[in-house]
Structure 1
């Protein structure tokens, strides 16, 4: 329903109001970072790419941008609840800017990475500030001040979340399109080409890190095989996916049957009666 209303407003006005546009982007980023499992699942760049693509009327490009960002963060694991990078912020900044300015996918990917790192620092700042509410809550619990406890537990952290998540993203999203256009126009060609090359390498790095986390060196030849087949044969992604599923099924079947395990060499049995 929200997507349909925004598309209707865009058709009526020809373009979305910049304030409404920035508010929507910041609100989406704010919502997906709430402590709700269903909303936290929506932090994936692929989902956000499809959502922004539907809002801006270019679903295909939005999904392609989201998929390119998704490959980078395949190996991003929050250790001890500490995020190495904020994939939601990277997607909420880079994808709308790319859709509005016509930025190339590889350039958008390279643009997204610094924002992802910045998002991790923003999250650490939020946690540090929220420590204030814990100390206040301990005092208010001793006083049995239920109204203050409610504020410390709910409204205080929500205000910090609003200040850290919503306001910075609103400012960047509001100035982002014009600033990105001016920045891209002022960039020399060699820098634009360099960002494009870096953006093309990052997905491969994400896949490699994902394989290293799995820790199974036997999977590296499959990764190399898929890479070279894609480069040499230039197969469609759907056909390549079917081929990968078949290889995975064969590998699992042979592994369970023991056909992939090296067989120990057995020396011929010696008949003890021959020694007598």
Structure 2
């Protein structure tokens, strides 16, 4: 698969996920998750292990981030699709690539308000269509028209970063002193811990302490792998939800 086609495909996926395209609007949130983006990156770019490693790690970085009032702390979709692809093409170590993806995520959070502001143009036009009784026009302004700004804001920059930026990133990484590379790698390892810390700060309540202790013991002392602990945790979560829901209903 040529680099041109790969760049077009990855930029297209980022564009569709960011705009919640009508063709998969109900799936756009899941498609934009870094883990899904990493898997698709790996399949398209031919390195599934690298894509999953970076996608899963980026997911950990932002696992404790909550969106309040429409504010975007970081654009995980751009970091997952564009950042992972550029890092993979540049041959960057996953720990270094995470810092690249996080940087793109911050830039994406600055772009998102611009898109929302520009989309108000379609709101005014949709109002005029509604006053005229043109339902098709209203639907068009709410589904198809917003894709235009998404194409200009996400697809074109994403394509440029992947197609032209990967070689530039490769050249930059080649001349970076080892001390700085080591520092970037350390930051890449710290970011997932920071994300888990944010999640713990959000969820660590009195009733959750026993589950945390059990998970720690199961991993550190019993030697259980990630999948068994995750399945047991899912079972505990379901039981906890059913118990608390029943208690609130009473």
TM over 0.5: yes
String of CA shifts for 1:223-269, please: whole Å, max 9, x gaps.
79849x66xx8x6xx62553576588789999x99xxxxxxxxxxxx
In the TM superposition, residue 137 of structure 1 has moved relative to its aligned partner by: 3.1
Deviation at 1:219, TM superposition (A): 3.5
Question: 2-side partners of 1:209 and 1:165: how far apart?
Answer: 28
Alignment of 1:242 with 2:228, yes or no, is: yes
Superposition deviation, residue 138 in structure 1: 2.9
The answer for the alignment partner of 2:118 in structure 1 is: 129
Q: Say whether 1:62 aligns with 2:51.
A: yes
| Cα 1:152–1:56 shift into 2, 3 Å | closer
Against the structure 1 CA distance between its residues 170 and 145, is the aligned structure 2 distance closer, same or farther, given a 3 Å change threshold?
A: same
| Structure 1 partner of 2:11 | 26
Tell me how far apart the structure 1 counterparts of residues 186 and 233 of structure 2 sit (CA, whole Å): 30
Instruction: Report matched runs for 1:72-111 at 5 Å.
Output: 72-111=61-100
> Which residue of structure 2 aligns with residue 262 of structure 1?
none
For residue 65 of structure 1, report the CA deviation from its aligned partner.
Answer: 1.3
Q: Which range moved further: 134-143 or 159-168?
A: 134-143
Count of residue correspondences: 237
2: CA distance between counterparts of 1:105 and 1:94?
A: 11
Distance 2:212 2:139 in 1: 54
Q: Does 1:187 align with 2:176?
A: yes
TM-score by length of 2: 0.80
* Residue pair 1:53, 1:63 contacting (<8 A) in 2 also: yes
For the pair 1:209 / 2:198, whether they are aligned, the reply is: yes
1:118-161 deviation digits (Å, cap 9, x = unpaired): 11221111000111222233344445567765654444322112
User: What is the rounded CA distance, in whole Å, between the counterparts of 1:146 and 1:209 in structure 2?
Assistant: 45
Report the alpha carbon displacement of residue 177 of structure 1 after superposing the two structures with TM: 1.3
Q: Determine if contact 1:211/1:219 at 8 Å carries over to the other structure.
A: no
Distance across 2 between alignment mates of 1:202 and 1:166: 27
Structure 2 spans left out of the alignment, 5+ residues: 244-250
Q: Following TM superposition, by how much is the alpha carbon of 1:194 offset from its aligned partner in structure 2, in angstroms?
A: 0.8
CA RMSD of aligned residues (A): 3.4
Higher relative contact order (CA 8 A, sep 6+): 2
- Residue in structure 2 matching 1:48, options 34, 37, 40: 37
Say whether the 8 Å CA contact 2:6–2:44 is kept in structure 1: no
8 Å contact 1:133–1:157 — kept in the other structure?
yes
- Report what 2:247 is aligned to: none
Where do residues 146-225 of structure 1 align in structure 2 (5 Å cutoff)?
149=138, 152-216=141-205, 219=209, 222=212
